[in-house]
Amino acid sequence: MNAPATDWVIEAESLSRRYGQRTVLSGLALKIRRGEAFGLLGSDGAGKTTTLQILAGILDPSAGRATVLGYDSVREAAQLTARIGYMSQIFSLYGRLTVDENLDFFAALHRVPEAARAERKAQLLAFAHLERHRDRLARFLSGGMQKKLALCCALIHAPPLLILDEPTTGVDPVSRREFWNILYQALTEGTTIVVSTPYMDEAERCTRVALLHEGHLIACDAPGRLRADLPGKMVELDARPQRRALAVLQRALPQAAPYVFGERLHLRMPVGSGDDGEWRATLAHEGVQVEAVRAVAPSLEDVFVALLPVAPVTAPPVAVAAEMPVGAGGLAVEVQDISMRFGKFTAVDRVSFAVRRGEIFGFLGPNGSGKTTTIKMLCGLLAPSAGRATVAGIELGADSRALRARIGYMSQRFSLYEDMSVGENLDFFAGVYQVPRAKLAARRDWALQLAGLRGDEERLTRTLSGGLKQRLALACAVLHEPQVLFLDEPTAGVDPLSRRRFWELIGDLAARGVTVFVTTHYMDEAEHCHTLGLLYNGRLIALGSPQELRTGMRAGEMIELECDQPVQALALFSDDPSVQASFFGDRLHLLVDDAAAARPRLLARLEQAGHHVRRMETVPHGIEDVFIAFIQMEQARLDTRAARS
């Protein structure tokens, strides 16, 4: 479909970029329409940042050309940069200036007229919920608030084009949703948005997405069309024992790429694969009971993985002699009314929960909710102000050395030594964890198998891909056979295929009886957990399996709407308190109390405004919807209590 030339905000032809002998972008061609929310997807090193810097006039291409807002990105870079909003991964706020002063600085930089400045500032502060914080120094804002302020600074001059480089990485779903609400408003005002993101659920909010892999464009279309064009069909099944079912399907149907999705398995059946009788018989022969089989819609992650031109070499599955039922052997972590105070500030407030042996426990919560503080207490790095906890059979404070020998920890940045080889990293951590000399050779070999690096012992760690570094860090963390493994946002920045394979390894470890305690901002990863705990303001406000939390949530019903102009339709509901509207690419999600009662009223309003509605149906809540709803209910409770006091 070709648009008139005036409708193209960006036209890129054969863009390439080399650094010495290394090519990071190769022959990229893109056209982006006025008013689009256009997403760039890909892992670290895929070429996303390079592409955005070329389009912003910051970096010159080695070959090819780009026209942005009618300007050549090289010859007319100065005119271009004055007319766009750009937000890099390391956003340029001034920590010693207040919120107000940062906005004033960027308004002056972009020569926003004094007459319009106050109104524009007030509008942006209201969208970002920063009015109460306008006199606070930027360095004292939370991470999510800093991101929103940086976005406001990029929008202060109402640019026709906004370029954002992974703007929400590392912030919680609440802050991410608020951030996107600001972007929705910019879209309704006519701003074109180009955004890179590692979050597949966030990419669903874009009108079109481009998938990049190792500097090459492998697909570009609307998320819905990419999913619809994926060949074959996605199947979900409940099968027990799960790990045995996965191993059997990986042998019998490797072309279906089966993978674990929480309590279920997903596989993509090729075109013409017939019915499921043959593989169901194979599973039954191997002692696997299939409880349910159903067709499901593919995710954008499924599309990304299927379109990768060459699948990287993966580690073989770690052998599991017998799948251990979750909880066999009792509790691995037991926490009773644990609190942590720093002066007058309470970071963790009387939190209680229990984690069974072999359980994958997901710890969720906004930035600053107390997750990291709780983990530090459970690892023996902080002494609780009150309460008690037992981890791997050891009471906190009783024997710190014995506790450290029974737990493993993997941080977001993997804690590897880049200038050491793979083998040297393993030897170093073996020494730190005091792996007995008699066991060292066997444990080292097992760890190399886990990481998929057997034969690469001499390879420098800095030369590994993000996915391989991730698996090596995991291998180092479990080298000493810990009973409890703590993972702090372990998949940040790696591609979807590496994330999927990482979670297979986590499942293997859990099947061996290792208890896994994980924090994550990827809401789809929460589905992999047996139990989720949601922290907010230091309090545990929800606890249960993903399905239990969805079932127990009483926060209305979700309507998914497809219409001809979703951006304009979104504006219709901005002032309606009975509807919470969110933008999802070519669809809208409308949260209402009663879907059946709301449908006629919503349809009438859309038709009166001249919109053609293609589809309107009730859909299940996503795990992010659950997350947001529980936090909103808790905040309403806190606001009511504050009003009464």
> What are 276-312's pLDDT values in tens digits?
788 888 999 999 999 888 888 888 888 888 887 654 4
pLDDT of residue 84: 95
Residue type, 522: Y
Q: Which helix (H) or strand (E) holds 128?
A: helix 114-128
Q: Say if CB 177 and CB 582 are below 8 A apart.
A: yes
pLDDT of residue 309: 63
Which of 163-167, 364-368, 431-435 is predicted least confidently?
A: 364-368
Name 259's bridge partners.
Answer: 266
Q: Provide the residue ranges of all domains of the chain, joining segments of one domain with +.
A: 5-226, 231-297, 331-544, 550-644
| pLDDT above 50 (res 96) | yes
pLDDT of residue 316: 46
pLDDT averaged over every residue in the chain: 87
Nearest residue to 50 (alpha-carbon basis) of 41, 39, 42, 59: 59
Say if strands 531-536 and 539-544 run parallel, antiparallel, or are unpaired: antiparallel
C-alpha torsion angle, residues 507, 511, 513, 514 (rounded to 10): -10
Spatial distance between the Cα atoms of 453 and 425, rounded to a whole number of angstroms: 12
> Mean per-residue pLDDT for 68-93?
91
The DSSP symbol for 421 reads B
Q: What percent of the chain has a predicted confidence (pLDDT) above 90?
A: 44
Q: How far is CA 478 from CA 364, 394, 469, in A?
A: 23, 19, 14
Transcribe 381-412 into DSSP letters. Answer: SS--SEEEEEETTEETTT-HHHHHHHEEEE-T
pLDDT of residue 197: 85
> Mean per-residue pLDDT for 200-214?
88
| pLDDT above 60 (res 123) | yes
Number of neighbouring beta carbons within 10 Å of residue 147: 27
137: left (phi over 0), alpha (psi -120 to 50) or beta: beta
> What are 308-360's pLDDT values in tens digits?
765 444 444 444 445 666 767 799 999 999 999 999 999 999 999 999 999 99
Which of 197-206, 529-538, 611-620 ranks highest by mean pLDDT? 529-538
Query: Do 231-297 and 331-544 have matching folds?
Result: no
End-to-end CA distance of the chain: 61
pLDDT of residue 322: 53
Q: How confident is the model at residue 80 (pLDDT cuts 50, 70, 90)?
A: very high
| pLDDT above 80 (res 8) | yes
> What are 375-417's pLDDT values in tens digits?
999 999 899 999 999 999 999 988 888 998 899 998 766 678 9
Q: Say if CB 17 and CB 62 are below 8 A apart.
A: yes
Token digits of residue 291:
């409880």
**What CATH number belongs to 331-544?**
3.40.50.300
Nearest residue to 267 (alpha-carbon basis) of 238, 287, 291, 289: 238
- Domain 550-644 CATH (choose: 3.30.70.250, 3.30.70.1250, 3.30.470.10, 3.50.50.60): 3.30.70.250
Q: Say if CB 402 and CB 394 are below 8 A apart.
A: yes
Spatial distance between the Cα atoms of 124 and 126, rounded to a whole number of angstroms: 5
pLDDT of residue 134: 92
Domain 231-297 has CATH 1.10.3470: no
Place of tokens 């309403």: 636
- Tell me the whole-structure pTM to 2 decimals: 0.82
Return the CATH fold of 5-226: Rossmann fold (3.40.50)
Token digits of residue 490:
């372990």
Would you say the C-alpha torsion 246, 248, 254, 256 has a positive or negative sign?
negative
Q: Which helix (H) or strand (E) holds 444?
A: helix 437-451
Transcribe 477-530 into DSSP letters. Answer: HTTT--SEEEEESTTTT--HHHHHHHHHHHHHHHHTT-EEEEE-S-HHHHTT-S
